[in-house]
Amino acid sequence: MADIGKEVQRAAAYLTQGELVAIPTETVYGLAANAYDEVAVVKIFEAKNRPAFDPLIVHTHAVSEVKTIAREVPDVAYLLAERFWPGPLTLILPKAEHVPLLVTSGHDSVGVRIPRHPLTLDLLRQLPFPVAAPSANPFGYVSPTTAQHVQDQLGSRIPYILDGGACAVGIESTILALNGDEVEVLRLGGLALEELEDVVQISKARIKTSSSNPAAPGMLSSHYSPRKKVLLGSIEENLKLVDTERVGTISLQKNFPQVPISRQIQLSASGDLGEAARALFSALRSLDEQPIDLILAEPMPEQGLGRAINDRLQRASFQG
């Protein structure tokens, strides 16, 4: 199994040697490799069993470094960076020639972000290269929000997990495509649309999906899924159709008397959508370990981070 610790220099040594390291961010834990080392990047795809058509996000520590990853950085990118970086925002930019096509899955654009976690920022400052880092979990499964989540699923495939505690945001970054001055949302995430709209005009704010060749990570129709089937909708109505002894529930605040209390998870007793986002992936993992057949989940309010939570629940429940 992987060693778990807080030794940034040890993590840097592994990455410099072409190895994989799980790193904490404010969103979820990432599985990092030297973004410029194709042999190391291949290890990401192998460890996650990730299809090569799903691109990776490149992480760096400073806005000044973005110009080494992207061949063009439009003014709107600097505007967004000033407001939201470090933070849960990924920008899709034209890639520099030396960024391997393996990282971008053949696209001429690359996703870039500066994560907001002190350990990982310290790590990135020590490295002479940025890191490619998708979520540190088997492809398609629930993203990890603690070091133990990574250990449970990838610990036998990587040497080291940098432990930064529980993730503060708990869902992946919001992804924006920048086409000139146009800003398009490719993935809803840890930065609410309302916050973005205070800074830029969003030309299209809609969930995009793809069964292959997605333009950015997290755009596949089925993703973030536990092993148990997830049914999204009115829990009250769906409980009328199932064996209540064999289900678990995920709601914002509600209780359901007909379901054993140990199989009910309220994401936020106060109705706080930020708290709900932090709890979502742990809730899916917890119910996935229960002796049940079905997870019933209710949609969150379509505002703030509720939109991103609903996006994850819709993809987790997608049956193709």
Give pLDDT tens digits for 74-100. Answer: 999 999 999 999 999 999 999 999 999
H-only helix segments in 173-214 = 193-197
To the nearest 10 degrees (0 to 180), the angle between helices 306-317 and 273-288 is 20
pLDDT for 211 equals 46
pLDDT for 209 equals 47
Tokens of 104: 């971008």
Write the single-letter amino acid at 252.
L
Q: Is the pLDDT of residue 167 over 80?
A: yes
Out of 3.90.870.10, 3.30.1330.10, 3.30.1490.100, 3.90.650.10, select the CATH number for domain 3-205. 3.90.870.10
Residue 30 has a CB neighbour count (10 Å cut-off) of 30
pLDDT for 304 equals 95
H/E stretch holding 30 = strand 30-34
- The reply to whether 3-205 and 229-317 are identical in fold is no
pTM higher than the cut 0.75: yes
- In sequence order, what are the beta bridge partners of 91? 112, 176
Residue 110: pLDDT band with limits 50, 70, 90:
very high
pLDDT for 210 equals 45
Give residue-wise pLDDT tens across range 213-270: 566 676 565 667 799 999 999 999 999 999 998 999 999 999 999 999 999 999 999 9
DSSP state of 263: G
Class of domain 229-317: alpha beta
Instruction: Please state, in angstroms and as integers, the Cα–Cα distance from residue 110 to each residue in 73, 123, 264, 269, 294, following that order.
Output: 11, 21, 40, 39, 37
Question: Domain segments of the chain: what residues?
Answer: 3-205, 229-317
